[in-house]
Structure formats: C-alpha cells, structure tokens
C-alpha cells in the first residue's frame, strides 16, 4: 500500500483539517463529533445534511455550501457515520424549517441516520438515494445502492431548499430526482482501504468488474476487458432497461443529464472518451443530453474505473440544477 | 450481572476479536467491504476507554453506556445493531428482576429483538441474526427447563457455531452482501462470525469464573 | 494496459469530441488541425493560446473560456503540438491585440511554438513557464520544466487580458507569476502512454520518485517511501530553497497561494492530507496561505502522486487570481 | 537528387524505423518520455501518405513538402528539428548546383546547421547532433578530397555509429534528458540512434542502387 499517510488512524482527521483549512471561506470543521458545516449558517431554510463513509471525496464534504448541503457527516473510510454526528450537526445547522437527510441506501448508513432521526428534537425527513441499477431490486430486499446520482439529488434539492421551500416539498423533489436517476459503475482495478492495507478484491489484467459498488464491492459480474464503446453500451443499456423495468417511460427528445464519474485513477482524458461514447449512443436513441458533468464526483479511494449516471430531466429539475451553487467541488453562477 | 464481569468480558472480547483479526477481516473483504474487523476493534477500544468511568456504575448503567459508546464509535451496519442490543439489554435488566438464568435469557432476547427491529431482518438472511436468534431461542428453552448454567454453556457455544456455518450457503437478503446475489454463496457472514466469537468468549469467561 | 479505449490511435480525437460536446456552451473543437477555442470569440483583447502534449487534462483544454485561455492546442499524448495548430488557432482567436503564447518549458514545446511564432502574421509574444524546482537550473542548460504553476499563470494572465491590457503588460505579468512560482512533484506509481502500452518507468512498492516530471520523466532521485509529513517537508523545503537560490526574498507574512495538484490516481482524501501537512509547515515559517487550490489540475495520465506549487502573491496577482473565470475546470464568480 | 530516390529512401526509412521499434522506444523510455518511436512512425507514415503528390515534384520541392509534413505531424522535439533539416536541405538544393558529392555535402550541412540553430545545440550535449555534426564534417572533408561515393559510404556509416555510442557516457544538456543530470549516463540518446538508423538506411540504399 503506497499512500500519502502519516498514521493510518489519523488519515481522516488530517484530511478533514486540510479540507477545512483550504476552504475556510466556505466551511467549518467540527471534530467531536466529526462534521463539516457551512461557515456562514443559513437561516430560515430546510437544513440539508448528508454523510456516509469517507473515501468517496468530494462526496459529501465537497458539496457543503450555498445551494447544496448545510452539513456533511463523514464516517471512517468506507464506514457509515454515527448518529451523534448527524444529531450534533443538526443542532448546528437547523434553522427552523426542519432537517432533511440525504442518505445513500446502505444498511449501515440507513440505520445510523434512522437512529439519528429518532433521537433528534427536530422535525426531519430522509431521502434515500438508490440509483445503482447494478443491483436487481426485486431479488434482493435491501434494494439498490445509492451512488453518484446522489450528487444530482444534493444539488437539485439544495437549490430548492435555498429558495425557502418546506421540508415536504424538498423531500418530494429529492425522491423524484432519485427516481429519475440510474447509474452503473465499472472497475478496472481495486482499491485499498488504508486500515486493511490490501486490495479489497483481486482483478486480472484482462478483466473488469461490471456493476461495482463505490466501496469496491463486487458488482453484477466479472467480464472480459474490451473496448470502451462496448463497455459503455452495456452500461447505458443497463440503465435504460432499468428505467423500463421501473416503468419510467422515456420519450423521444426527453432531456437527459449525463454524468460521467471517475472513481479516481481513470484520467479525465478517458472520462471524456466515455462521455463521447455515451453521448453518441444516446443520440441514436433520440435522447437529448442537455446537461453534463464529467469528472471525479463520487470516488472509491484510488480505484480505476468510472460510472455513468443518467438523470431524466424535467423543467423543475433542470431549473434547480442550473441555479447557483458554491461549494468546494461544484460551483457555478457565483 | 456484575459490572466487574462486564468489564472483564469487554476485555476478553477485545482480545478475542484481535486474535481473530485475519478471519473476520477476510470474510468481510470477500462479501462486504473489508471493514468489519476495524469497526469492531474501534468499538472494543472505545469501550475499554471508558472502563474506569463505568466501573463505578450499576450493571444496567454500564451496559447502557457501552451501547451508547458503540453507537457513536463503530458506525457501519454493525454499530447501530450492536448498540441496540446493549441498550435493550440494559433496559431489560432495569425492568426485570429474575433469577440469573431467566434474567439473562430475557435480556439477551430483548437485545436480539432490538437488532431484528433495527435491521428489519430475521434468520436466513445471512447476518449476525443467524447466530443470535438460535442462541436466544435456545437460552429461552434452557431457562424454561431450569437448566444449570454450566450445562447450558456448551450447548450455546455449539448452537452459535452452527449458526455461523449455516450462513455459508445462504444468499444474503440483508446487508452489503445482499448485492452479491449468488456470488455470496460459499462465504460465511462476517457479522455472524464475530457474534459467535463474542458469545463463545463470554461463555468461556463464565466457565473460568466458576 | 487497462484503459477505456477503442483504438489507441483514436483516443485523442474521441476524447476531444467528448470534451467539446460536454462543454459545447463554452468551447468549440477544430480537428484539422486540432485545437479547442472559446465558442464565443472574444473581441479586442490579447489572444491567449496555450498547448502541449495531451495526457495532462484538464491542462490546457479545461482552461479555455472567459478569464483564461482563448485557445488550447493539444498534441498527441505527451508530445508537443505542431506549429500549424497554433497558427490556425491564432487565425481564429486573434482580435487585434496580438497573440500571447503560454508554453511549458520543454524543448519540443518551445521549438514548435517558436516556429509558429515565426510563421504567423500576428504580433506575438511568449511566456515560458518553468516552475519545476526539481531541475537544478544552473547545471543543465535547458532550464526548468513548466508544470502545475502554468495553471496559475494562465488564470492570472487570462484575467488581465480580459480587462483589455496590451500584449506587453500581459507578458510581463505572466513572467512575474512564473518567476514567483515554484513546484515539485512526487510519483508513487508510473503511467502508461497508450501507444507504448507499458509503464514509462518501474518503481517498487517501497520507493517514490522525488521531482518526477509530468510525463513520468525521472526526477531528482529515487527515495524510500515514507510518511506524508516527511515527503511534504522535503517538497516544501525544496521550493523554498529554490526561491532563495533565485534571490527571491520571502518575508514573514508574505501571502502564498498553495496549490496541491494530484497527478490522477491519488485520492482527494490524500491531497487534502498533503495540503494540511504543507499548510501547517508553511505556518511555522510565518508564511500565510491565503489562497488555495486542491485537486487534479495538471495530471500525468493515471499516475499516483502529487505536486506542490507555491506562488508568492502580490496585490496584482491576487486581484487577477480572484477575478471571475469560466472554463470547464476552473470556475468562479460567474 | 531524384524524387524517385527520395521516395524510395522514405520507404526504406519507414521500414528501418519499424524494425528498430523496440530499441528506439526503450531508449526514449529510459531517459525521455517514451514517444520517440511513435513520433517517428507518425512522421514516416505521413510522408508516405503524400507519396503520390510529391512524386511529380522536383527533388527540392519534394524535400520541402516532406519538411512541412514532418513539421505538422511529428511534434515533440524531433519534429521541428527534422523538419528544419529537410526545409534547409531543400533550400540548399535550390540555391546551389554542384557535383553530386559536393552538393550532398553542402545541403546536408545546411540541414544540420538548421537543426543546430533551432535546437540551440551542438556536439557533446547528448542529442541527434552527436551523430549529425560528425557526419557533416566528414562529408565535407571527403567532398573536398574528391572521394568516390562508394568509398565515402562505409566511412559515413562508421562515424554515425561512433556518434551514437559517444552519447552513452554524456550528461545531457539539451532535450528532455537534460533534467536527469548524472542519471542519463550509461544510456544512448534516442534521437542520435534514430538519426544513425536513417543515415545508414540511406547509405545502404545508395550502395544497392549502384
Ligand atoms: N439488516 C441487518 N440485520 C442484521 N445484521 C445485519 C444487517 N445488515 C448487516 N448486518 C450484519 O452486519 C455485518 C457487517 O458489519 P460491518 O462490516 O461492520 O458494516 P458494513 O456492512 O456497513 O461495512 C454483516 O456481516 C451482517 O452480519
Ligand atoms: N535542443 C536539441 N537539439 C538537438 N536535438 C535535440 C534537442 N532536444 C532534443 N533533441 C533530440 O530529440 C530527441 C527526442 O525526440 P522526441 O522523443 O521525439 O521528442 P520529445 O523529447 O519531445 O519527446 C532526443 O533524443 C534528442 O536527440
Ligand atoms: Mg463498511
Ligand atoms: Mg463491512
Ligand atoms: Mg514527447
Ligand atoms: Mg520523447
């Protein structure tokens, strides 16, 4: 394991300190318990709080700021945060309109946020993101995992909350965005949880893992490595088939947000190549990509690979996607 | 139960978890995300950190403190589950006052019920409950039959081990391994294994204390 | 070699197409010869053109847009572009105030831009960036390499050009920023030029390459892998010593821009840990980090590693750093 | 010189470069960035792409076209240098009209001078010039002595090879390897090697054509 590390036990705190000091104009760090919050507390809006295991940076700390999250609760690497973090964060950022949790659908995250929700004195609601189509919903009862679509949910709901909408409306929009998102990831290499010190899984030079999770969990299946167009076609088709399975009708000329997300080690050069391949394919299916995001937005430590997320836009989602945002890792209009 | 025994048990569990590091870690690497050992280790250390503080408390209070401590340090799926167990166990100790075997049986069952509720799971889903539920059923049965503790312990250990092994051929329907479908078959559930280790450790401690 | 690729010969064009289509609101792609230019031609300003080998994305394509470059000329992977690209790009973006080339100091880039400069009909000047302190200037006559400091030069000069400054002023500011920048990189792994199909260099699990170039060229020396603080201290000290060697006096309370740049595979988590380590060290030296940038801004394909750049600010540089910019990979204030 | 010969030479060089792929590539990987072979290959292919077009031109014009083509396809350090060579060579063919040996010597020298000027370099800096300059000096000498071409060729090949080997123990002061300092010692310069291959190829072509 070759990483920039002093002491494995201190990675998270040192990294959080670096994050907070690099972005001290935007955020503040609380250490006991750990959370990142806006340095300027927002007033009279639904407080958006997300969180999850670390190792997916910039998710979620990088999305704290105007137009997006009010606070983010980082767990240990690949381990969900604990309820005290969410409760304490809520006490700091709640401003009278309640708390909305945005939680990726993993048993650990769900339970920890659930306990926080039960234990906190504020009106609150939860959006569970579950955009990963690699997990077949009907067969396995925990349901799909939440992956890169979460970034879109956080941005869109963040915008609505900033406009002063109430808890129910924010929750409703978030659920809608989540419903209209589908994602799938492919890993070319594994990743190393620092405390474990060894690769989470083994993968050969001629293999890829289709449907990998963002913790390096095994996915749909191990497949032979092949050319990008063929990998991308399988990914895009998996997402479209899933929309069909979930009875989400896609009409010709529907507007799409296409997110090509790198897990870390895949160069931007390749991410744009993937984008090109996906955009061309969607065009042949008469879908119009009108918004896009290409880069490392939901990572898996040092894994090589990428995920594709499609979000079917409507006027409300598009407007809230376009509105100004000012966070460490997503910024426009400000 | 004595607070002194609780602390001894915590120390013994800490030791046993460390001894079994590589097995627990690799099980979670195979069908999970590889952090189950680290999560447990963090939990154990944090409990030992408050050893002095809880040593002056009643057993109920100590167990509640342990639950809250686990809740705020372990994280992951196992954190809230184990925490719920201890908090419910403590509650049951407070609310009832039975003979040792019946009390243990009742409190243990309350703990397991809390896990079932929190995790929305039962047996056959390839989780720690495949150890915990059979153990609690057996405990109840033996308590009803007024068995001697020394007689009970070997049976408990046996059932716990059987529970672990039963997870090997299951498809998971809860927790992280649920995403794996058929690929989870052939692998033992890490949480089941670690619960079995903890149960065995406490059993052995009781035996040695006698 | 595991990459998202269809045909090795098509990587660049497919990736450029993806880039241009993902950012069609910002840029336009010319293919024969290859360059990226703003989709809305700027008027009456010095035209800023940069370029260099591909494989360093987002450098330079990701910096084309308002407040930064007018055009970027991508060469093949790790190979400088050819003069026809710069000449043709200049014809498209020149708007009456001449052309300013921003060129990283590599023999190939220098000569190709030089020939473009000689062959083009416009008034033009060149800023050669050479911020890499790992190359000892006095001994070797080609001089230092230009690395991540180039991003700062492009941003700052881009701002001044946008304000309508003339060619000489822009060139002067660029030279000043370059002079006040120092960078050094560390590689933990190598990278694979797709056409070559194998690692550029071999490196063991217990080694790092101190002073690596952004093409995976060997650096100062092979060193044992060690803890982050010690690596970072050596990097920061090398930069500070170099300022001294070049007679750039650092005064207590001097204001610094600290750029922690990832080469690709090093997670953001670690980059912030590096930032934390560097910022703490600079504080003990009474230097004040008042601006920062952490992320993958000048990459080396899929290499793991990072570089640190210090830029000593003054009022003029700070103002032009802060002014609005709207490109694919650097955006604020707009 | 004949345009036909130029095209034949381009084809032979293309072949020779490909045959030596692994050596050229690994030399540039050792002390450069590993692309020298790819750059040359791209250049050769692009020249052959315009074979038909230049086949109807005079030798001077053909050489100029080749220079411009290399300029717009090779890139890197070697692109502008090799392009400058051919453009200057063409210019000298246009401007002078000497006997074959003296003309070749004069034009070759003009080409090398153009490289020296563009690269701001000379011998002893661990570049292609460590092959090209000795060859041009020898050519001049032999031309002055009115040597027979067939006598000249083996000597040229020998000097070119010596030039390549001379770069092995040099510290580079130009090009990418200059950043390596002492670490470049022990490695032959890739550009020197590829120039030597090209020179040898053309020499052999002349021999075979005789
Ligand atoms: N819903 C659930 N009910 C009961 N136990 C569960 C449930 N989900 C997961 N578990 C247990 O938790 C264990 C995993 O714990 P751990 O690795 O610490 O958390 P995570 O899966 O979040 O990384 C599993 O092996 C399983 O025994
Ligand atoms: N200033 C220079 N003068 C002469 N030759 C040079 C100079 N710089 C580099 N070279 C030659 O160019 C060769 C490298 O070419 P190439 O690999 O194609 O370009 P790059 O170094 O840009 O990747 C070197 O081996 C050397 O012979
Ligand atoms: Mg986990
Ligand atoms: Mg786990
Ligand atoms: Mg090159
Ligand atoms: Mg090269």
Q: What is the pLDDT of residues D38-59, one digit of tens each?
A: 999 999 999 999 999 999 999 9
In a domain, A327, yes or no: no
Tokens of C68: 């930064």
Residues on D contacting C at a C-beta cutoff of 8 Å: 25, 29, 31-35, 38-39, 42, 71-81, 83, 118-119, 171-176, 178-181, 183
Whether residue C129 sits in one domain with residue C62? yes
Residue C327: inside a domain, yes or no?
A: no
Question: Is the CB of B175 less than 8 angstroms away from the CB of A136?
Answer: no
Distance separating the N- and C-terminal Cα atoms of chain A: 40
Interhelix angle for B190-209 vs B36-49, to 10°?
40
Domain of residue C308 covers: 181-321
Residue A195: pLDDT band with limits 50, 70, 90: confident
Residues of C with CB under 8 A from a CB of D: 33, 53, 75-84, 106-108, 111-112, 114-115, 134-136, 139-142, 145, 193, 195-196, 200-201, 213, 215-219
If one counts every other C-beta atom within 10 angstroms of the C-beta of residue D156, the result is: 22
At C226 the pLDDT is 97
Q: What is the pLDDT of residues A44-96, one digit of tens each?
A: 999 999 999 999 999 999 999 999 999 999 999 999 999 999 999 999 999 99
Query: Does residue A193 lie in a domain region?
Result: yes
Q: Of A180, A195, A228, which one is at a domain's C-terminal end?
A: A180
Q: Are both A191 and A171 inside the same structural domain?
A: no
Domain count, chain C: 2
Chain C hits for A332, CB-CB cut-off 8 Å, are: 331, 334
- Tell me: do A220 and A251 sit in the same domain: yes
Residue A44 φ then ψ, to 5°: 55, 45
Q: For residue D17, give the nearest of D190, D206, D210 by alpha carbon.
A: D190
Strand ranges for A147-219 from DSSP E: 181-187, 207-210
Chain A residues with CB inside 8 Å of C256's CB? none
Contact C4 A228 (CB under 8 A): yes
Catalytic residue ranges of A: 56, 215
pLDDT, residue A141, reads 54
**Count of CB atoms situated within 10 Å of the CB of B200:** 18
| Tally of domains within chain D | 1
pLDDT of D210 above 80: no
| Domain shared by C197 and C251, yes or no | yes
Q: Which of C117, C55, C47, C48 is nearest to C80 (CA)?
A: C55
The percent of residues above 90 in pLDDT, for chain C, comes to: 90
**CB within 8 Å: C18 and A273:** yes
Q: Which residues lie closer than 8 Å to A308 by C-beta, 6 or more apart?
A: A183, A184, A185, A232, A235, A236, A239, A258, A259, A260, A261, A274, A278
Widest CA span in chain A: 55
pLDDT of residue C184: 97
Active site residue C215: yes
Specify whether A46 is located in the same domain as A170: yes
Ligand 2 close to Cβ of residue D67 (< 6 A)? no
* Chain C neighbours, 3+ Cβ pairs < 8 A: A, D
Ligand 2 contact via D28 beta carbon (within 6 Å): yes
Instruction: Based on the fold, state whether residues C55 and C139 are members of the same structural domain.
Output: yes
Provide, as residue numbers in chain D, all residues whose Cβ is less than 8 Å from the Cβ of C33. Answer: 72
User: What angle separates helix C167-179 from helix C315-322, to the nearest 10 degrees?
Assistant: 100
Q: Is the CB of D69 under 6 A from ligand 2?
A: no
CATH number at residue C230: 3.30.1180.20
User: Is C25 inside a domain boundary?
Assistant: yes
In a domain, C329, yes or no: no
CB contact under 8 A, A302 and C301: no
Contact between A135 and B179 using a beta-carbon 8 Å cutoff: yes
Measured in whole angstroms, the distance separating CA A210 from the mean position of its chain's CA atoms is 18
Whether residue A138 sits in one domain with residue A26: yes
Question: Residue C203: is its pLDDT beyond 70?
Answer: yes
Inspect the structure and tell me whether chains B and A have 3 or more CB pairs less than 8 Å apart. Answer: yes
CA B63 to chain centre: 13
Helix (H) or strand (E) holding D123: none
Tens-digit pLDDT profile for residues B164-174: 999 999 999 99
Taking the centre of ligand 2 as the mean of its atom positions, its distance from the CA of residue D169, in whole angstroms, is 17
User: How far does the centroid of ligand 2 lie from the alpha carbon of residue D127, in Å?
Assistant: 6
Q: What's the domain range around D109?
A: 3-208
Same domain, A20 and A162: yes
| Cα-to-centroid distance, A144 and ligand 3 (Å) | 16
Substitution site in B71, B78, B126 for ligand 1 pocket (most atoms within 8 Å of beta carbon): B78
Question: How buried is D1 (Cβ within 10 angstroms: 0-12 exposed, 13-18 middle, 19+ buried)?
Answer: middle
**Shared-domain flag, residues A217 and A135:** no
Token pair 């209209």 in the structure block, residue: A180
- Separation of D33 CA from ligand 6 center, angstroms? 5
Q: Are residues A96 and A191 in the same domain?
A: no
Q: Decide if A264 and C265 are in contact by the 8 Å CB cutoff.
A: yes
In a domain, A330, yes or no: no
| Domain at B34, CATH number | 1.25.40.340
Mutate to test the interface with D, among C11, C51, C112 (most CBs of D within 10 A): C112
Which chain C residue shows the shortest CA-CA distance from A206?
C2
Phi, psi of A261 (to 5 degrees): -110, 125
Give the pLDDT confidence score for residue C76 in this predicted structure: 95
pLDDT value at position A197?
Answer: 87
- Contact flag C82-D176 (C-beta cutoff 8 Å): no
Q: With cut-offs at 50, 70 and 90, classify the pLDDT of residue D183.
A: confident
Q: Is C199 on the interface with A (CB under 8 A)?
A: no
**CB within 8 A of D9, min separation 6: which ones?**
D201, D202, D205
pLDDT digits (tens, 9 = 90+) for A268-325: 999 999 999 999 999 999 999 999 999 999 999 999 999 999 999 999 999 999 999 9
Query: At B192, phi and psi to the nearest 5?
Result: -65, -45
Place of tokens 């153009």: D114
User: D80-109: per-residue pLDDT in tens?
Assistant: 999 999 999 999 999 999 999 999 999 999
C332 in a structural domain: no
Q: Are residues C193 and C309 in the same domain?
A: yes
How far is Cα B81 from Cα B78, in angstroms, rounded to an integer?
5
Domain annotation covers residue A93: yes
Q: Is the CB of D36 under 6 A from ligand 2?
A: yes
> Is the pLDDT at C140 greater than 70, yes or no?
no
Same domain, C220 and C160: no
Say whether residue A227 is in contact with chain C using an 8 A CB cutoff: yes
Half-sphere exposure of A30 (CA within 13 A, CB side): 21
Mention every residue, 6+ apart, whose C-beta is less than 8 A from residue A92.
Answer: A30, A35, A37, A41, A71
Chains touching B by CB (3 or more pairs below 8 Å)? A
CA A191–ligand 1 middle distance (angstroms)? 21
The last residue of one of the domains, among C180, C204, C231, is: C180
């Amino acid at each position: 394991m070759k990483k920039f590390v002093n002491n494995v036990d201190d990675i998270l705190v040192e990294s959080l300190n670096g994050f907070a000091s690099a972005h001290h104009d935007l955020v503040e760090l609380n250490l006991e318990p750990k959370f990142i919050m806006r340095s300027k507390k927002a007033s009279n809006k639904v407080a958006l709080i997300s969180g999850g295991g670390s190792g997916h940076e910039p998710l979620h700390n990088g999305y704290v700021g105007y137009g997006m999250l009010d606070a983010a609760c980082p767990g240990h690497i690949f381990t969900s945060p604990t309820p005290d973090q969410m409760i304490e964060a809520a006490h700091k950022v709640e401003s009278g309109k309640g708390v909305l949790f945005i939680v990726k659908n993993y048993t650990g995250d769900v339970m920890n946020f659930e306990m926080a929700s039960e234990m906190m004195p504020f009106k609150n609601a939860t959006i569970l993101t579950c955009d990963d189509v690699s997990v077949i919903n009907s067969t396995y009862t925990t349901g799909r995992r939440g992956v890169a679509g979460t970034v879109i949910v956080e941005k869109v709901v963040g915008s609505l909350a900033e406009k002063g909408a109430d808890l129910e409306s924010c929750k409703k929009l978030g659920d809608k965005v989540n419903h209209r998102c589908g994602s799938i990831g492919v890993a070319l290499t594994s990743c190393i949880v620092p405390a474990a010190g060894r690769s989470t899984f083994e993968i050969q030079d001629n293999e890829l893992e289709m449907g990998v999770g963002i913790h390096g969990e095994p996915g749909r299946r191990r497949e032979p490595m092949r050319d990008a167009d063929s990998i991308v076609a399988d990914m895009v088709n998996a997402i479209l088939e899933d929309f069909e399975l979930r009875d989400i009708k896609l009409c010709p000329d529907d507007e799409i947000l296409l997110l090509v997300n790198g897990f870390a080690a895949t160069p931007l050069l390749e991410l744009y190549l993937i984008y090109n391949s996906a955009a061309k394919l969607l065009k042949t299916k008469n879908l119009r990509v009108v918004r896009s995001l290409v880069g490392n937005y939901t990572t898996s430590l040092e894994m090589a690979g990428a995920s594709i997320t499609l979000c079917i836009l409507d006027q409300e989602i598009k407007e809230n996607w376009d509105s100004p945002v000012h966070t460490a890792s997503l910024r426009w209009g400000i | 139960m004595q607070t002194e025994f609780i602390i001894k048990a915590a120390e013994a569990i800490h030791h046993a978890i460390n001894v079994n590091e590589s097995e627990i870690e690799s099980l979670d690497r195979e069908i999970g995300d590889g952090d189950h050992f680290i999560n447990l280790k963090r939990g154990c250390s944090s409990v030992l950190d408050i050893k002095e503080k809880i040593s002056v408390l009643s057993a109920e209070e100590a167990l509640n403190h342990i639950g809250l401590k686990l809740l705020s340090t372990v994280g992951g799926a196992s954190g809230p589950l184990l925490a719920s167990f201890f908090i419910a166990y403590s509650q049951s100790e407070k609310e009832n006052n039975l003979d040792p075997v019946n009390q243990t049986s009742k409190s243990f069952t309350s703990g397991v019920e809390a896990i079932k509720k929190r995790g929305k799971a039962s047996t056959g889903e390839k989780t720690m409950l495949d150890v915990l539920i059979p153990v609690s059923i057996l405990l109840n049965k033996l308590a009803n039959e007024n068995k001697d503790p020394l007689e009970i312990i070997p049976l408990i250990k046996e059932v716990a081990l059987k529970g672990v092994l039963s997870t090997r051929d299951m498809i998971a329907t809860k927790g992280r391994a649920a995403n794996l479908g058929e690929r989870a078959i052939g692998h033992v559930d890490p949480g089941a294994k670690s619960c079995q280790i903890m149960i065995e450790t406490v059993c052995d401690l009781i035996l040695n204390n006698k």
